Amino acid sequence: MPDAASAFAVLFVVLLLADTGLRLWLAARQIRHVAAHRGAVPDEFAQRISLTSHQRAADYTVARIRLGMLERVFDAVVLIALTLMGGLQALDLLVSSLTDHDMLRQLGLLVALLLVLGLLSLPFTLYRQFRLEARFGFNRMTPGLFAADMVKGIVLSMALGLPLAAAILWLMASAGSLWWLWAWVVWSAFQLLINYIAPVVIAPMFNKFTPLTDAQLAGRIRALGERCGFTVNGMFVMDGSRRSGHGNAYFTGFGRTRRIVFFDTLLNKLNADEIEAVLAHELGHFARRHIVRRHAISIVMALAFFAVLGWLANQPWFYVGLGVLPQLGARNDAMALILFFLVIPVFTFMFTPLASWFSRRDEFEADRYAAGQSSPAYLISALVKLYDDNAATLTPDPVHSAFYDSHPPAAIRIRHLLAAA
């Protein structure tokens, strides 16, 4: 076991260093590339976006990337401190000293870790919201609203997360060697429940949703939905401007809770033709079954992860290799969950470009669908406005974009739409 634990520890450190190094290298490429193209608007956008807006987008991108680099290094240090430097071990012993009840001890460990991670990430969140976003004119959130959102988030996480965690811990202790299969069933059912209730229960806790009052726009959207075979159960406007200047629109829920939501900021920026084109793109994801496929892939991946966790939870080297000595005479199920979900991103980061490629493929397909349901010119016009208003860079580094971006770069996307036109 010592050899296996040592080998696993070395593998973990090597992959963490590779992960962090690659992220920093990609970030540096993005900064250099965006800065090098800051001085001129790309030809595709020269008639629509001013040089001032282009430079603002470049500066915003560089500022976010630099903050992300600092945050990534900090996260790597925290991960090492929690694992190999004994942070989780100390936290487990502290919680164990407070209660002898096994389930309470394990739930307490989960809660304590989440509080620690939340407190550690809070300075970055505050800086991003009240300094970086404010610097570029996007922040609309007050400290009071931020605090209220944080309290609501904590209460909601406890109300929903603790019963789920308790159910999985109970299955780990009571359901035998196939506990992971039953845990996956519970997890999948929980995800479906959240998707169903989120639009009508959770989202209204944070934002105000009012029915769309523009009868002409609502009629066009219903007609579009009928052409696409999509039943619209509700169209709502969300007060996104209370928190941010960014604009967006999205579909949410399923069945009777399925609805279309517009940020109020979006309605102020796009005309009716452009809004219809944007929604035609989103309906393209529905018509081409991208959403169903993504949910199916997510469920299958969750099954694979639970199966791996079911095996790792019984391997002493998994705990020891990550700096934890399992407690003798007590359950270590919560610790297994924590270690697995802390380190799995390090072992799966290499698959990020593949996921990004599939996502970009779906975006191109949805664009082609939208071009058949609406005018490509309207979608291009809407995209240009959104790029401009959201300060999205028009000149991303190709390697960085291929690795991370779920949407195609602006210039390439518009070329495809022009070809469709």
Locate all alpha helices (DSSP H) within 97-210, ordered by sequence: 102-127, 133-135, 143-174, 179-197
Per the listing, tokens 């959102």 go with: 149
Catalytic residue (choose from 333, 367, 388, 389): 367
Phi and psi torsions of 354, nearest 5°: -65, -45
DSSP H or E run through 398 = helix 398-404
- Residue 407, helix vs strand vs coil: coil
- Sequence-ordered list of residues with C-beta below 8 angstroms from that of 178, at least 6 positions apart, any chain: 310
Distance (Å, rounded) from C-alpha 250 to C-alpha 294?
16
Per the annotation, where are the binding residues?
281, 285, 363
Mark whether 149 is an active-site residue.
no
How far, in Å, are 69, 75, 163, 226 from residue 27 at the CA level?
7, 16, 39, 44
Q: Which of 374, 357, 386, 356 is nearest to 417 (CA)?
A: 374
DSSP H or E run through 211 = strand 209-211
Per the annotation, where are the binding residues for Zn(2+)?
281, 285, 363
Does residue 120 come out as left (phi exceeding 0), alpha (psi in the -120 to 50 range) or beta? alpha
Catalytic residue (choose from 19, 44, 276, 282): 282
Q: Which of 40, 45, 169 is nearest to 101 (CA)?
A: 169
Mark whether 367 is an active-site residue.
yes
Tokens (6 digits) for 247: 């604009």
Residue 199 gets which letter from DSSP? I
- Residue 210, helix vs strand vs coil: strand
DSSP H or E run through 263 = strand 259-263
Distance (Å, rounded) from C-alpha 37 to C-alpha 414?
19
Helices 333-348/102-127 angle, 10° precision = 40
- Residue 96, helix vs strand vs coil: helix
Tokens (6 digits) for 391: 């300060």
Query: Quick check: 373 and 414 in contact, CB under 8 A?
Result: no
Please say whether the dihedral angle defined by the alpha carbons of residues 343, 346, 351 and 355, taken in this order, is positive or negative. positive
- Show which residues are catalytic: 282, 367
